[in-house]
Chains A and B, each alone.
Chain A
Amino acid sequence: MAKILVIEDNESISSLICMNLSVVGYEVKPVFEGNAALEMIESGEHFDLAIVDIMLPGTDGFELMTPLGSRNIPVIYLTARNDIESKVRGLKGGAEDYIVKPFEVLELLVRIEKVLERRGNADLSITVDNLEILTDERIVKQDGRPLYLKPREFDFLVLLAKNKNVALSREKILAEVWGMDFMGETRTVDVHITQLRKKTGLNISSVPKVGYRLEERR
């Protein structure tokens, strides 16, 4: 999985980001101070992406853009600054995305995924339990043997696997798998969940009042 550098001075928020990212399978490295972040970038350690706060003690987030850019690490700003000037400055400076606090976990995950896809750093294979999903070839292997899934079921499985351990609402699933303009009922989701459970034997639990969550057996 991709390795993500989290540059955030607030310990609570940093740990929140790290927790959510590691749950879905990313490898994270938190840094709490601007100058320390600079050192980390220049140390030559490989990162697939950096999540950067703008207001940092020491070197600020805008100043970190140049070294990050020269090392070809894509940047997502995650900041409390909601003014247009900062957004324009951040995105013009070369950031891939700009998220304003407070943020939603799912939104952060989706945006990270999209950036990784754009950069070609996205994982082409996702592993959940005994299942290996090859997203490019649209093949699912269970213990090495191919498993037949309908196209919709495959998309659904990819969505759940990419956000494993995170609950997705029925509406979110409908929008992602069937498209925004799909007018179907949320019951459709339930039907597919049953099918997926039967075919893959994965632990897809329903979370009350939220939706469904693919839980990896540890």
Chain B
Amino acid sequence: MKISSKLTLFSIAITTVAIILCCAILLITTAGNHINSAVSSGIAELKMLSNSFHAEMDVVVSDDNMSETAKSSLILYVFRKYTSVSVSGAHYILSDGEETMYNDCPIDPRPSLPDLKAHLEEADNSRASNEESVLWPSAVVALDGRKYLVVGHYSNMLRDRIYYEHEIYLVRDITVVYDGIAKLGVWFALIASGTILVCGLTMVILVRRTLLPLGVLRKNAAALANGQYDNRIQVLGKDEITELGAGFNKMADAISLHIETLDDTLTQRKLLLSALTHELKTPMTVIIGYSEALMKVSLSKEQKEESIAYINRECRRIERLSQKMIQLITLQDGEQPEIERQPVSKLYDAVKETLMTAAQKENIMLAFDDAGNLSFDMDIDMMASVLINLFDNARKAEAKHISITADHTGIMVKDDGKGIPESEIKKITQPFYMVDKSYSQSVGGSGLGLAICELILVAHDAHFHIESRQGTGTAVRIFFEKLHFDDTLLNT
């Protein structure tokens, strides 16, 4: 079950029960009050009648001169006189305990009331004779769809001294009261159902509106799962649910950023791999070709030796290539350099021997300047690899003089080789890019050197700038970005 339906149903149920309970209590109380007041007014009327009647009977009954028949007639006359003025449309019965003297009632009230005399005597014994309900017992009787209030009164004394036994009954039609209550009930029911309806609708709309963003959230999450990383939720207002939306957007941002990085890495890898495959073609062709020739073709001794030399040379090339590839890939994978503040002279010491030997072999004049006490944040091994690569490039460019100098911004490697054409400078750091493909074969280049240098420098928060003129030479400056600012601060 959906949370919206649950919430809606639950709240509607509670509201319904509450409203029905309220209306019922109200109706019952009102009905009780109405009936009570009708009963009280009946009792009051009978009391009044009884009082007036007693007052007159007092005289009549105590007059011994009158015959019984005359008395009866008089009593009846007096009773009629009082009852005929009744405005409430009540009906009465008068009896002297044995026979009914007067009766204009539509129903006989006696069966619905206790026997009045016995009742009173019993109450006398239990000392409850002064209670209203004992003196004036009442009941509501239903007959032919109408409601009648029945009140009875028994008395055997007039003014507490004359013995006169009689019973008076009052019967009043109170259907109107019940009708009123019924009408009230109908009204209550109407109001209750109206209120429930309105409450329910409000609840449904409110819950829907509150939970609507959850639906949007769900859709977006599904889209995210399907690989659409650019969808975002519109965040309006500020409550818990919009906060959730904002949180979702943040998550989507993080995911898409992550995926983009992954995609970038993947594309880079693919490019590198295709470049590598291409780069392997030449050595493969040579190795397969010569080994096949050795196997199948009858060659002279010189040809055989030549073939083996070619195979050996290309195998070494592949070996160099694979080493550089491993270096490149570990750098791309984000192998973190151990960067510490190191003096430049230490870096020079690390490369001096290797470079000097290589330079001597090819009759190159290699000069290091005095680094003084300059120092940069660097990983000596990695920076040494950068310097060796740059030296190698200079050597391959047929340089005769190479100088390595340092100042407070960084290190520079300068040569007087054949230089790089201006259009090529931008492409020069791409893996396997070589300015002159033909001479790379003879000097043993892989086309990966500068790509590796660039990755190392990025890890150092540094970059290089290449200045070159064809025929004059090339200068590669390495700038340590962070330190540049530190040093200027220190100097000022």
Contacts and interface: CB of A to CB of B under 8 A. Distances in A.
A121 to B, nearest CB: 23
A186 interface: no
Contacts of B306: 15, 19
Interface in B238-294: 278, 281-282, 284-286, 288-290, 292-293
A31 B442 CA distance: 17
Contacts of A166: 296-297
B298 A13 contact: no
Interface stretch (A97-105, A129-137, A139-147): A97-105
Contacts, number: 83
A16 B442 CA distance: 16
Contacts of A47: none
Given A19-B299, A102-B288, A13 B293 contact: no
B450 to A, nearest CB: 20
Contact of B290 (A16, A165, A210, A213): A16
A15 B298 contact: no
Contacts of B284: 101-102
Interface string A7-49: 0011111011101100100000000110000000000000000
B278 A13 contact: no
Contact of B296 (A15, A80, A207): A207
A93 to B, nearest CB: 22
A55 B432 CA distance: 15
Contact of B314 (A12, A103, A210): A12
Interface residues of B, number: 27
29 contacts: A10-B282, A10-B441, A11-B441, A12-B282, A12-B286, A12-B313, A12-B441, A13-B282, A16-B289, A17-B289, A19-B297, A19-B299, A20-B293, A23-B297, A57-B436, A57-B437, A101-B282, A101-B284, A102-B281, A103-B285, A104-B292, A105-B297, A106-B296, A167-B296, A167-B297, A207-B295, A213-B297, A213-B298, A215-B298
Given A10-B441, A15-B310, A57-B438, A20 B285 contact: no
A15 B313 CA distance: 14
A12 B314 CA distance: 9
Residue among A12, A33, A80 with most chain B CB within 10 A = A12
B303 interface: yes
Interface string B296-313: 111100010011001001
Nearest to B283: A12
Given A80-B278, A207-B296, A105 B289 contact: yes
A71 B479 CA distance: 56
Interface in A146-198: 165-167
A18 B293 CA distance: 12
Nearest to B314: A12
Interface string A96-138: 0000011111100000000000000000000000000000000
- Main secondary structure, interface of B, reads helix
Contacts of A105: 289, 292-293, 296-297
Contact of B297 (A32, A102, A165): A165
A199 B10 CA distance: 108
A80 B281 CA distance: 6
Contacts of A9: 437-438
A17 B314 CA distance: 16
Nearest to A165: B298
Contacts of A165: 297-298
A23 B307 CA distance: 14
B281 to A, nearest CB: 4
A102 B298 contact: no
Given A13-B282, A104-B288, A207-B296, 4 more contacts: A20-B297, A23-B299, A102-B284, A165-B298
Contacts of A11: 441-442
B303 A19 contact: yes
Question: 4 smallest A-B Cβ distances: which pairs?
Answer: A167-B296, A102-B285, A80-B281, A101-B285
Contacts of B296: 105-106, 166-167, 207, 210, 213
Contacts of A213: 296-298
A210 B295 contact: yes
Contacts of B292: 104-105
Nearest to A167: B296
Interface in B25-77: none
Nearest to B310: A12
A15 B281 CA distance: 16
Interface in A54-92: 55, 57, 80
Contacts of A10: 282, 286, 441
Interface string B438-452: 100110000000000
Contacts of B290: 16
Contact of B282 (A17, A57, A80, A167): A80
Interface in A203-218: 207, 210, 213, 215
Contact of B295 (A19, A102, A167): A167
A102 B438 contact: no
A165 B296 CA distance: 8
Contacts of A101: 281-282, 284-285
B438 A32 contact: yes
Contacts of B289: 13, 16-17, 20, 102-103, 105
A210 B299 CA distance: 15
Nearest to A213: B298
